[in-house]
Amino acid sequence: MRVLLPRSAIPSADMWCNNLTTNAAPCAPATFHLENVLNCQLNEEQLHLQKSVREFAQREIAPNVMKWDEASEFPFSTIKELAKLGLLGMIFPLEYGGAGMGYVEYVTAIDELSRVDGSVGIIVRGPYVAGFESHFHCGQ
């Protein structure tokens, strides 16, 4: 699949082109080949993670979603189970208590959890949104 975007659709195209060289010719329209930009083929380990998280979500989360929602209940026991599975702190190294996984695994797990209950997906995302990841990487 090819997606052709005119220069006007890319706000920073002029900036990028003008910064390349001082005597640059006008830029051609940007052409993206999605098959080169995004490869969504999961490897064997990632597929295993996807299957495991999907099964967990169907078994442990799906039967309780409406109950939690109607009672405005936080699913503490389920979150503890997710932690035991290594799904909290996924991208942090093992020596710091994380699972030592990458971003593909992280997004795959959140995707599978969110298919059943978006709230649980957001809970797993929480430490990253709260800034723990940037503190870890930047030391700030």
Domain ranges of the chain: 2-37, 44-138
Q: Residues 36-92: pLDDT tens digits?
A: 455 568 899 999 999 999 999 999 999 999 999 999 999 999 999 998 988 988 888
CA separation for the pair 61, 78 (Å, rounded): 7
Q: Which helix (H) or strand (E) holds 2?
A: strand 2-5
Q: Residues 77-95: pLDDT tens digits?
A: 999 999 898 898 888 888 8
Q: What is the pLDDT of residue 129?
A: 53
Q: What is the pLDDT of residue 15?
A: 43
Q: What is the pLDDT of residue 134?
A: 53
Q: What is the pLDDT of residue 14?
A: 44
Question: Regarding predicted confidence, which is higher, 83 or 33?
Answer: 83
The CATH number assigned to the domain with range 44-138 reads: 1.10.540.10
Q: Residues 102-131: pLDDT tens digits?
A: 889 999 999 999 999 998 998 888 755 555
